[in-house]
Structures are given as C-alpha cells and as structure tokens.
C-alpha cells in the first residue's frame, strides 16, 4: 500500500512537473522564433506595384496561357506548375524548342517577397522578371516586342481585359503592362501555413517533432541565413562557406553564381539564400537541382554552410519542421482559368 502511495505521489509530482518545464521551453522557443521569423503578409503588393482585381485576373490568364511563345506551347505555367507547387520538378528547366535552361526553376509561390529575384539576383523584382522572360530565347523565343504583342492581339478576348486593367493607359496592350498584370497575380500567391499560426502565438500549431526540428534549425545556425517571413530570401551568401559546394552536390557544370552577373570575384559562388516556404513540395534542390531529396539537401547545407554533420534524428526533425512550411495552394493558382479563344498558334 505504502509503496503504491509513494509511487502515485511520485507520478503526480512528475505529471505536475513535466508540463511546467515543457511549457517554459515551448514559450522560450516561440519567443526565439518570433524574433527570427515573421508570418507571411496577406499579399505582396507595394505602393509602387498595386494589386488590383482587374490586373490580377488578367495576369492569371497571361500566366496560364502558353500561346505567346514562338512555338505557342511554352508559358509561365509550363515551368511553374500548380501540381508541382509552382516548379517543374526538373533539375534544370527545358524551354522553347527543347532549349535547356542552366538553372532549376524555383517556385513562384511567395517569390515576390524575396529581396531580389532569381538564384543569382539578376532580376530586380517580379515585374522585371516577366519583362525580360517575355522575349528570352528559352522562355519565349519571340524575336521582338512587336511580334509578341501581335501574338497577344491575335486573341481578341485580351484587348478589353488590358483596357479595364490599365484604364488610364492609351496603349494598354504592352509588354510592360503584361508584366504589371502577371506581377500583380504573383503578388497574391502567398501560402500561409501552420508555421504562421505558430508565429502568431499558437504553440500547438506545430507538433512536438516539428518544434524539435525548429529548435535544431535555430541551434545549429541555419537561421543565420534562413530567417524573415520567407525563411530565407533576404540576402546573398556564399554557397560553400566551409567547403566547395560541388563536392557535396556533385554539381556539373559548376555555376559561379553571382560572379557571372557582376563580373566581380568577390561574388564567386554567391547565391541568394533560398526561401524555404513550401520547400518539402519542390524537389529537386539547389540552383541546379543537383540534390534529389530534402533530407539530403539538409545534410548538404549543414556540412557545406556550417561544417556540421547532423545525426539522422536531427535531419528528420529539421525535415518535419520544414514540412510545416507547406501551405495550401491559393485557389486561383490551383486551378487553371478558361483562356480567351483565338487562332491556334504555330507549333514550329
């Protein structure tokens, strides 16, 4: 009897004590997380680039329409597919006339949030990205703006939509306005997840395993680079702080990163720190898609950026934390719109 009583008393003490300890740890972790990350905004509009209903509706059609490329079958959606969370699932993209792209397609989801666009930051913002890609050989193949706009105007449904999206513009169908419309659409593509609920104070929005992963992600130093609302996307860093990245990724060829953009050796192997929003949904990984799985990408990062060899349990916990950054697809992105009818463009 006595033994039982002591055991029961001991158990009561344990039960009373454990959650109390866990709660202070949980609160401490939440405080740390709130200092490092922010919830996603409602959209990514800025005073310079407003997001209006008309622009978003037009931009959505333009995004999903493959008929503007020279062969009429490659558009934004080809390489940024809803079913693949805004990527194409390939290590490196393949464009118009099967032309190979040197890099991997990152997701368009939450992309406008990042401080610059593209792996090497060679685009200022979402709109700049579109302006250029509408005439590039791999993404478009159109020889010039006149040919591009002639193609757009061959679908009579578009002109009235441009007019209502840009009512003050005497020539609403323009490459610049295509970019403003597609950019406006992209600026609505935010994917808040359980991690945002957590950051707003709901500790139970993440499981114990996910919180252990978050704690590891902070403790080993991933947060030195991956922070802010995008969990990355806020700065350039060298890929290969502790050792050459290609030794860990087997990359071939070796991309010199931002140095090829700036012609400055100080930028050798510098890349924008990737945003990790939805990262569990967007394999393969890195600027050249050289690493197939997320656990492997986490190990590469720990080794190459921090000089740390992670235990399998820690890799697993970090991967489950990263999976909590997956949010539902925005409904306007999940389903394709009905495109304005028009002549079938050439396929050669």
Q: CA-CA-CA-CA torsion for 263, 266, 267, 270, nearest 10 degrees? A: 160
Report CA 29 to chain centroid distance, whole Å: 25
CB of residue 257 vs ligand HEC: minimum separation in angstroms? 7
Q: Which of 129, 191, 193, 326 binds ligand HEC (CB under 6 A)?
A: 129
Give 114 or 142: the residue with its C-beta nearer to ligand HEC: 114
How long is the chain?
348
CB of residue 57 vs ligand HEC: minimum separation in angstroms? 15
Residues that contact ligand HEC, how many (by CB under 6 A): 52
Contact between 191 and ligand HEC (CB under 6 A)?
no
Question: Angle at CA 245, nearest 5°, toward 113 and 307?
Answer: 95
Give 13 or 334: the residue with its C-beta nearer to ligand HEC: 334
Whole-angstrom distance, CA of residue 132 vs CA of residue 146: 14
Whole-angstrom distance, CA of residue 307 vs CA of residue 251: 19
CB of residue 235 vs ligand HEC: minimum separation in angstroms? 8
Q: Which of 36, 49, 241, 336 binds ligand HEC (CB under 6 A)?
A: 241
Site for ligand HEC in 80-119 (CB under 6 A): 80, 93, 95, 101, 103, 105-106, 108, 111, 114, 117-119
CB of residue 103 vs ligand HEC: minimum separation in angstroms? 4
Report CA 85 to chain centroid distance, whole Å: 9
CB atoms under 10 Å from CB of 136, counted, come to 14
Give 224 or 336: the residue with its C-beta nearer to ligand HEC: 224
* Stretch of 149-157, 167-175, 205-213, 275-283 contacting ligand HEC, by CB under 6 A: 275-283
CB atoms under 10 Å from CB of 160, counted, come to 12
Contact between 279 and ligand HEC (CB under 6 A)?
yes
Question: Angle at CA 293, nearest 5°, toward 268 and 189?
Answer: 80
CB of residue 207 vs ligand HEC: minimum separation in angstroms? 18
Contact between 220 and ligand HEC (CB under 6 A)?
yes
CB of residue 98 vs ligand HEC: minimum separation in angstroms? 10
Whole-angstrom distance, CA of residue 182 vs CA of residue 179: 5
Whole-angstrom distance, CA of residue 228 vs CA of residue 239: 19
Contact between 306 and ligand HEC (CB under 6 A)?
yes
Cβ–Cβ < 8 Å for 308, 302? yes
What tokens appear for 132 in the block? 């250029």
**Residue of 322, 63, 83 whose CA lies nearest to 185:** 63
CB of residue 262 vs ligand HEC: minimum separation in angstroms? 14
Q: Which of 81, 142, 305, 320 binds ligand HEC (CB under 6 A)?
A: 305
Give 222 or 323: the residue with its C-beta nearer to ligand HEC: 222
**164: burial class by Cβ within 10 Å (0-12, 13-18, 19+)?**
middle
Instruction: Give the residue carrying structure tokens 């939440």.
Output: 30
Contact between 224 and ligand HEC (CB under 6 A)?
yes
Footprint on this chain of ligand HEC (rule: CB under 6 A): 63, 74, 76, 78-80, 93, 95, 101, 103, 105-106, 108, 111, 114, 117-119, 126, 129-130, 133-134, 138-139, 182, 186, 220-222, 224-226, 237, 239, 241, 271, 273-274, 276, 279, 282, 285-287, 297-298, 301-302, 305-306, 318
């Amino acid at each position: 009897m006595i033994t039982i009583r002591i055991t029961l008393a001991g158990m009561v003490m344990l039960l009373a004590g454990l959650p109390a300890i866990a709660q202070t740890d949980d609160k401490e972790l939440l405080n740390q997380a709130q200092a490092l990350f922010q919830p996603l905004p409602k959209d990514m509009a800025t005073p310079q680039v407003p997001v209006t209903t008309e622009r978003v509706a037009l931009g959505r059609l333009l995004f999903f329409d493959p008929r503007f490329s020279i062969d009429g079958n490659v558009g934004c959606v080809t390489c940024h597919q809803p079913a693949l969370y805004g990527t194409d699932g390939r290590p490196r993209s393949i464009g118009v006339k099967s032309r190979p792209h040197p890099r991997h397609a990152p997701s368009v989801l939450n992309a406008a949030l990042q401080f610059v666009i593209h792996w090497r930051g060679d685009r200022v913002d979402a709109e700049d990205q579109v302006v250029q890609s509408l005439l590039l050989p791999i993404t478009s193949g159109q020889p010039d703006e006149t040919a591009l706009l002639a193609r757009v105007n061959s679908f009579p449904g578009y002109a009235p939509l441009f007019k209502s999206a840009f009512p003050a513009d005497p020539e609403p169908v323009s490459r610049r306005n295509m970019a403003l419309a597609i950019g406006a659409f992209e600026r609505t593509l935010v994917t808040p997840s359980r991690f945002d609920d957590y950051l707003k104070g709901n500790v139970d929005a993440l499981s114990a395993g996910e919180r252990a992963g978050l704690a590891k992600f902070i403790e080993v130093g991933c947060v030195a680079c991956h922070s802010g609302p995008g969990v990355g996307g806020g700065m350039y860093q060298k890929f290969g702080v502790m050792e050459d990245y290609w030794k860990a990724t087997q990359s071939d060829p070796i991309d010199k990163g931002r140095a090829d953009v700036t012609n400055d050796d100080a930028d050798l192997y510098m890349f924008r720190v990737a945003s990790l929003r939805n990262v569990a949904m967007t394999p393969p990984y890195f600027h050249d898609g050289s690493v197939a799985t997320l656990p492997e990408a986490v190990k590469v990062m720990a080794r190459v950026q921090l000089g740390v060899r992670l235990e399998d349990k820690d890799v697993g916990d970090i991967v489950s934390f990263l999976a909590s950054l997956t949010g539902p697809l925005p409904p306007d992105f999940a389903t394709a719109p009905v495109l304005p009818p028009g002549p079938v463009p050439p396929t050669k």
